[in-house]
Amino acid sequence: MSTMTMEQRLALNKYEVDTEAHIRLKQDVCLQCEARSCLYVCPAECFKEREGKISFSHEGCLECGSCHISCGPEAIEWSYPRGHFGVSYEYG
């Protein structure tokens, strides 16, 4: 059985990062949100809290859909990256 950490496993993945974000937050909803579940459900830690605001970076997104399920379309515009962009999984 492999003893690799989550960080080591994630480092195996390859990303073709699109300049256009495939996930967008609706900041007016986020500002009213107390749960901030995005900080806990995203395995890639794409969401950060800074000075009371949530920031998001799509570059390390694993396309798992957890944030979409957690927040719903009222808070997040969610789609897969365009064309050949996004993550390619490597299993080690």
Torsion of CA 45, 58, 67, 48, to 10 degrees: 40
As a whole number of angstroms, the distance between CA 54 and CA 52 comes to 7
Site membership for ligand SF4, residue 66 (CB under 6 A):
yes
> Which run of H or E residues covers position 27?
helix 27-32
| Residue range at the interface with ligand SF4 (CB under 6 A); choices 2-10, 11-19, 55-63 | 55-63
- The terminus-to-terminus CA distance of the chain in angstroms comes to 11
As a whole number of angstroms, the distance between CA 67 and CA 70 comes to 5
Task: Please say whether the beta carbons of 33 and 72 come within 8 A.
Answer: no
Site membership for ligand SF4, residue 81 (CB under 6 A):
no
Site membership for ligand SF4, residue 63 (CB under 6 A):
yes
Could you say which of 9, 21, 41, 85 contacts ligand SF4 (CB under 6 A)?
41
Site membership for ligand SF4, residue 1 (CB under 6 A):
no
| Residue range at the interface with ligand SF4 (CB under 6 A); choices 1-9, 11-19, 27-35 | 27-35
Could you say which of 10, 15, 33, 85 contacts ligand SF4 (CB under 6 A)?
33
Q: Report the residue number, 1 or 5, with the smaller CB distance to ligand SF4.
A: 5
